[in-house]
Structure 1
């Protein structure tokens, strides 16, 4: 092989290695950035009063528990409860603040420093919807998923008796003498519910009105700051 060819081969290999070198430099730079970020977080934690951090974490854990003062269930907060919160349960010997997406929910004193603990939560808001089924077809009324409960107002015409109401083939109401009036029915949260009505004759539209509750949720950041 001539010197010219050898030099050309080395030049080609060098150019081919340039992209690999660039990728390696990017990876090294990214690793350094992550390390610096972690070091900064560790430094910030080291400068946080451990008692403040412990108390803030304890309050945050209590708020997201199933039996918390604002809870609908674990990690789900009632929007109405957070809008009408009381500070009575906050520690009396520390300045503390609870916020939800930056909005102050409740506070005691003025925690200008201290420690902050954050949790990702869902904020639930129930709404009620009403409709009158047409009473046609085998499943005469269908409710969407997330319906948590329903109130059935039964008003059959004269001479017609409703004896049984089923939800997905499960008997939820039964009276051989006839059902007439308003009845509350608990529903499975994640099921699509289909109501069926057993009556002595066909039921016309207007014989049944259904009011059902659904829960809408939004994601939010719960933050607890404590400065003891």
Structure 2
């Protein structure tokens, strides 16, 4: 009797394991059945639409796999470019609908991990106090330099030792400069005298990114 009672906990554990295994098997079978019932045409359209959205020249991107926050906010206007015709489609970002056409109650969904970029314009004016250099934030792909130097002249500007502006007579006015997006850029100024604070103004765009999941559901 004592041995039988001792075996009861082991029997109960064994039964729980059997029940869990059966439940898992049923769940897997249900998933497989659901996948088998997904319309291949819907799957192809969803995959194609998701691919178009994340390409470098897509209607929502600033570069491959990086979406513009501003473009996402206006995604509804781009649905016809994404998927012409009357097909029901929904585009989501982290589960939140950003664009929808029709009522895609079923169909197929394709998800892609992306970055979402927020951009803001900033401006600085170096003090040139003991240094003729200024470092810009990483991912600054371009800048506009405006010179109002007075008695001293800026004859050249180097970005990480690469000459991007040069004029022996002195730079004057505004100049657009392309920079290395993936490097931290330091601008160095060659002058023929001391520059006063406010002699040079640098306007540039700062980009911050966050990870998100883009979803495209198509119900043709």
Q: Which TM-score applies when normalising by structure 2?
A: 0.83
SS at match of 1:88: helix
Please state if 1:56 is matched with 2:49. Answer: no
* Correspondence for 1:143 among 133, 136, 143: 136
TM-superposed deviation, 1:32: 7.8
Q: Helix, strand or coil: the match of 1:54?
A: helix
TM-score (normalised: structure 1): 0.80
Counterpart in 2 of 1:120? 113
Task: Label 1:147 to 1:33 Cα distance change in 2 as closer, same or farther (>3 A).
Answer: farther
Aligned-pair distance for 1:131?
Answer: 1.5
Aligned partner (choices 69, 74, 78) of residue 68 of structure 2: 78
Distance in 2 (CA, whole Å) between partners of 1:217 and 1:42 is 36
CA distance in 2, matches of 1:136, 1:49: 67
- 2:175 is aligned with 1:175: no
Taking a change above 3 Å as real, the CA distance of residues 149 and 107 of structure 1, as seen in their structure-2 partners, is: same
Structure 1, unaligned runs of 5 or more:
1-21
* Structure 1 position 150, deviation (Å): 1.2
- Equivalent pairs counted in the alignment come to 205
Are residues 202 and 53 of structure 1, via their aligned partners in 2, closer, same or farther at CA, if it must alter by over 3 Å?
same
Residue 177 to residue 224, structure 1, CA distance change in 2 (3 Å)? same
SS in 1 for 2:181: coil
Distance in structure 2 (CA, Å) of the matches to 1:185 and 1:61? 32
- Alignment partner of 1:43: what SS? helix
The alpha-carbon deviation at position 57 of structure 1 amounts to 0.9
2:50 is aligned with 1:65: no
* Alpha-carbon distance, 1:138 to partner: 4.3
Task: Report how far residue 91 of structure 1 moved.
Answer: 3.0
1:37, distance to aligned residue in structure 2 (A):
5.3
Q: How does 1:93-112 map to 2 (within 5 A)?
A: 93-112=86-105
Are 2:198 and 1:198 equivalent residues in the alignment? no
Give the conservation status (yes or no) of the 8 Å contact 1:60–1:224.
yes
Deviates more, 1:132-141 or 1:51-60: 132-141
